Amino acid sequence: MEKNFALVLGGGGAAGNAWLIGVCAGLAEQGLDVARLADAIYGTSAGATAAAQLRGGPSIAELYAATQAPPAAPAGPGGGRAAGGPNGPDGRQHSGTGPGGDPRAVFERMRAIGAAASSALDVSRGMGAFALESDPSLAPRAAARLAQVASRLPSQQWPERYVGIAAVDALSGELVVLDRECGASLAEAVAASTSLPGGTASVPIAGRRYVDGGVFSADNAQLGSGFERVIVLSPLTRPEESAAPRQFEGLRREDAWGTTLGSQVAALRSGGSVVTVIHPDDEALAVFGANLTSTGIRPAAAREGYRQGRAADVGR
């Protein structure tokens, strides 16, 4: 293999974003600075934000310290939620508003799409169609949301070292890796990867429209194919649940489709990669609770990640 080390960061809302930063800080504490050492960092949804943050300039210690700051006051009218839809710019999957102003309608529609699907492409196309159908009502908030995304990134420039942002083409349903050659700004790419269909407007890039990369897979670990070593940080899975990521309520994940973390890791290993997967442990999950969208749990989630990163056996 010509490529040495890939870091793959999965989705997971506000808690997941903070946990990812915490794990990376803990790994750095034990001598593995993944932000500096990885030949490529791939991110999906909340992981896309974390990938851009890790490559954006500040040290991992500084990024971790930032997670411990009190959450900013909501900027929405009357003290309500800041504009930006259900997937906030720091990877936070906020409750948002769906059809009729009820976020439950978004998840009901996603469950229906998943139930009717017969392939991964069916799921992605269905979710893309849902996004395009919802765009007219969500488009007025798109500019404000993009500004929010940009404000959460330490740099507005694509980093020199490789970052790949996973998003789904809303029309074709295909998973696409957006990078510095895609014709979009870094903020636009991250906004695309965190754009929940039905809750946030799809993002236009080079004549196409894109939605959350988690529509295809919660982690997209398969992007590490061809690397000698792959570390996957997966906020939404546990070892005994590796074939059933807990994301996008009701979206089907099938081993045969290659969309489960278990199937993706197995394929990487069969291709010769040495793969390490880190999941939230029981203590971290207790902190996460049922609502991964709450910004108030970010400091504690990051501390749990830091603890796990310091203790992780990642080999050398």
Q: What are phi and psi of 51, to 5 degrees?
A: -60, -45
- The pLDDT value recorded for residue 295 is 82
The C-alpha atoms of residue 79 and residue 170 are separated, in whole angstroms, by 33
Residues 208, 180: contact at Cβ < 8 Å?
no
Residues 47, 10: contact at Cβ < 8 Å?
yes
DSSP states of the chain = --EEEEEEE---HHHHHHHHHHHHHHHHHTT--HHHH-SEEEEETHHHHHHHHHTSSS-HHHHHHHHTSPPPPP-SGGG-PPSS-SB-TTS-B-----GGG-HHHHHHHHHHHHHH-SSHHHHHHHHHHHHHHHHHHHGGGHHHHHHHHHHHSS-SSPPSSEEEEEEEETTT--EEEE-TTSSS-HHHHHHHHT--TTTS--EEETTEEEEEGGGT-SS-GGGGTTEEEEEEE-TT--GGGTTS---STT----GGGT-SHHHHHHHHHHTT-EEEEE---HHHHHHH-S-TT-GGGHHHHHHHHHHHHHH-----
- The pLDDT value recorded for residue 291 is 73
The C-alpha atoms of residue 281 and residue 130 are separated, in whole angstroms, by 34
Find the length of the chain: 316
Nearest to 239 by CA among 269, 268, 271, 276: 276
Burial 149-174 (b: 16+ CB within 10 A, else e): bbebbeeeebbeebbbbbbbbbeebe
Residues 253, 295: contact at Cβ < 8 Å?
no
Predicted TM-score (pTM) of the model is: 0.89
Give the Å distances, CA to CA, from 132 to 95, 252, 296: 19, 21, 32
Nearest to 108 by CA among 232, 1, 249: 249
Residues 24, 9: contact at Cβ < 8 Å?
no
Tokens linked to 32: 């593995």
- The pLDDT value recorded for residue 76 is 37
pLDDT in tens, the chain (316 residues): 457 999 999 998 889 999 999 999 999 999 999 999 999 999 999 999 999 999 998 999 999 999 998 766 544 333 233 323 333 333 333 334 444 456 778 888 988 998 899 999 999 999 999 999 999 999 999 999 999 999 989 999 999 999 999 999 999 999 999 999 999 999 999 999 999 999 999 999 999 999 999 999 999 999 999 999 999 999 988 765 544 444 455 577 888 899 999 999 999 999 999 999 999 999 998 898 777 777 889 999 999 999 999 999 887 5
- The pLDDT value recorded for residue 89 is 32
User: How far does Cα 285 stand from its chain's mean position?
Assistant: 17
Nearest to 1 by CA among 277, 224, 262: 224
Task: Scan for tokens 């489709």, then name that residue.
Answer: 257
